[in-house]
Amino acid sequence: MPYPFTLPTTSSTPLDAFISSPSHPSLPLTATTQRSVLRDALKKHKRLPPAQQAAHLGVVQEALNAYLPYALGIASALNSGRIGDEPVNVTNTKQLQTQWRLTLSATLPGREPPRAPLAGVYNDVAFVLQSLAYIQVQQARVHLQVLYSSSIPSPDRRTAAISSAMKYLLEANAIHNYILNLHTQDPASAPLDTVNSTQVALAALALAEATLITVLKDDPYTTAVIQARNKEDKEWMISAPSIPKVRAHLFARLCLCASDHAQRAAASLAPGIGALDPALLNYVDDLRRTSRAKAARFLAIDAEIAGKTGEAIAYLRGARKELGLAPLEQDASKRKGWKGIKQTFAEKREDRKVEKGSDDWGLDAGKLEEARVLEWLEVKWVKMNDTINVQAVPPSEPLMATMPSGREYHTQKPYMPPQLDVSLLARLRAPVDPQQRAFGGDEDDSGDEGAAREPVVVPGAFPGAATAGGGNAYY
C-alpha cells in the first residue's frame, strides 16, 4: 500500500578532488570510497529484476548508513569546523559537484528521469537521506504485502508485519523532517525532489500511511473479503466478523486523521504539480479518498451495531462516492454488463501483482481493496434490510458532512543520524600515501543503466564476432 518510490542513482564523484583536510588527511579519500560503494549498491539495485529487489534493500541500506556519517561529518566540518566534539579542518579546493537522478520529476513515457547536477555538500546529504527514507518505505511495503496475499497469515504474523511496517514508515517521516530542518541547505540550489515543499509532503504522506495501517490489525472485514475470494479456503462456515462499537468510532477518527495528513501532502505538492510525477500526485489523492472511505465504513459499522441499518447503508454509499465509484445496482449480488467484467478484471490483475510482488502493486493506495469491502458489506446489509429491518435509507451527503474530526495516533520522533566514531576520526588523522587511490566503483556509469552488459552473439556469425554494448541482431 505505501507508495513504491524508485531509488535514485548517482554519478562517480571523487570527493578528494573537491575537498581537503589538513587535520584529517584520510577523511576525503575514505569518504570517496564509501560513496563509491553506495553508488555501486544503488546501481546494482536498479538493474535487478523487481522480484529480487526486496532482498537487496538491506545491502543498499547498509551502504547508505556507512556513507552518511562521512557526508554529515564533512558538512558539519565545513560549517562549524567540528565533527561532534572534535575540531576538524575541512576546506573546499573547489565547489563540490555531484549528480543524482531525479526520481520524483515528471518525464516522458519510456524515458529515464534526468540526472541533475548539484552544487554543495548539503544537496548530496539530502539525496542520501532521501534514499534512506525510500528504503524505509520499501521495507514497509515488503511487510504489508503479506496481508494482501491470498493466503491468510496467522494473527501473530499479521501483528508483527503491521508493527514492522509502522516502524519503517515513522522512520521515513522522521528522515523527511530532518531533511526539512537542514538549515544550511540553500533552497535555491535544491532540486524539486528535495525542496522544502516536497519534504513536507513526503513526511505527511509517510505519517498518513502509518496512521492508516493502525486499523489493519483489528479490521476483520478486509481479512474476511480476502478470505472470501480465496478458492482454497475451507473456513466459510463461520460467523460474520464483528467489531466493538467504541473501537469502530475510534478507527473512523484515525482514518480521518490519515485523510488530513494526505490532504496536507497534496497541498504541499500542488506548487510543483506541473513537474512532479503524476503517479505520485494521483496516489496522494487516492490515499485521501481511501482514508475518508474507510472512516465512513467504520461509522457505518458503528451504526449497524446500534441497529441503524438504513443509516449504515447510507454511510457505505457515501464511502463509494468518496472513492469515485458508481452506486451499486439494485441486484448487486451478481456483477452484470461491461462494468462488472471490467471491475472483475481489474481486481484479478491487482491480485496477480500482489502475488508476484510487482513493484507497482498498491499504486491506488488501497482504493480497489476498500471498494471490495464496501461492496461486500452493502450487498449483505441491503439484503438484510430488505427482508428483516425494512428501514429507510437516508441521503448520504448530510451524514458525510457531519463526520467527526480526526484523532492523532502517532507521536513524531526526531531522526538521529549516525555519527563518525571518535576512534575512527583518530585513524583519519593518518597521512595519505601519494600513490593511494580511492575505490572508484565496479558498476558502469553509462547513460542507459538498464542496457545489457554482456556481448551479444549474432547467430550464424564467425566465432568471436560479438558486438559489445547490445547491438541489434536480425534473424
Q: How does pLDDT run across 308-352, given as a tens digit for each residue?
A: 999 999 999 999 999 988 777 655 555 555 555 566 656 666 656
User: Is there a domain that residue 209 lies in?
Assistant: no
| Among 85, 289, 54, 268, residue whose Cα is nearest residue 177 | 268
271 alpha-carbon distance from chain centroid: 21
- Domain match, 461 and 407 both: no
| Distances 166 to 173, 213, 285 between C-alpha atoms, Å | 11, 7, 21
Instruction: Note the pLDDT of residue 81.
Output: 85
With contact defined as beta carbons under 8 Å apart, do 320 and 333 qualify?
Answer: no
Instruction: Note the pLDDT of residue 422.
Output: 87
Q: Residue 466: beta bridge partners?
A: 457
Into how many domains does the chain fold? 3
Instruction: Note the pLDDT of residue 437.
Output: 62
- Domain match, 428 and 452 both: no
Instruction: Note the pLDDT of residue 415.
Output: 92
What is the H or E stretch that residue 466 is in?
A: strand 466-467
Give the residue carrying C-alpha cell 564476432. Answer: 465
With contact defined as beta carbons under 8 Å apart, do 79 and 67 qualify?
Answer: no
User: Is there a domain that residue 203 lies in?
Assistant: no
Backbone angles phi, psi at 99, to 5 degrees: -135, 130
- Domain match, 349 and 433 both: no
Instruction: Note the pLDDT of residue 474.
Output: 34
User: Is there a domain that residue 105 lies in?
Assistant: yes
- Domain match, 186 and 312 both: no
User: Is there a domain that residue 208 lies in?
Assistant: no
Name the DSSP class of 457: E
- Domain match, 140 and 261 both: no
- Domain match, 347 and 460 both: no
Domain extent for 378 = 219-411
Does the pTM exceed 0.75?
Answer: yes
- Residue 163 makes CB contacts below 8 A (sequence gap 6+) with none
User: Is there a domain that residue 213 lies in?
Assistant: no
With contact defined as beta carbons under 8 Å apart, do 74 and 31 qualify?
Answer: yes
Q: Which residues of the chain have pLDDT under 70?
A: 109-110, 149-151, 183-188, 226-246, 270-274, 329-361, 433-475
| Among 301, 432, 293, 315, residue whose Cα is nearest residue 371 | 293
Instruction: Note the pLDDT of residue 111.
Output: 75
- Domain match, 369 and 436 both: no
User: Is there a domain that residue 248 lies in?
Assistant: yes
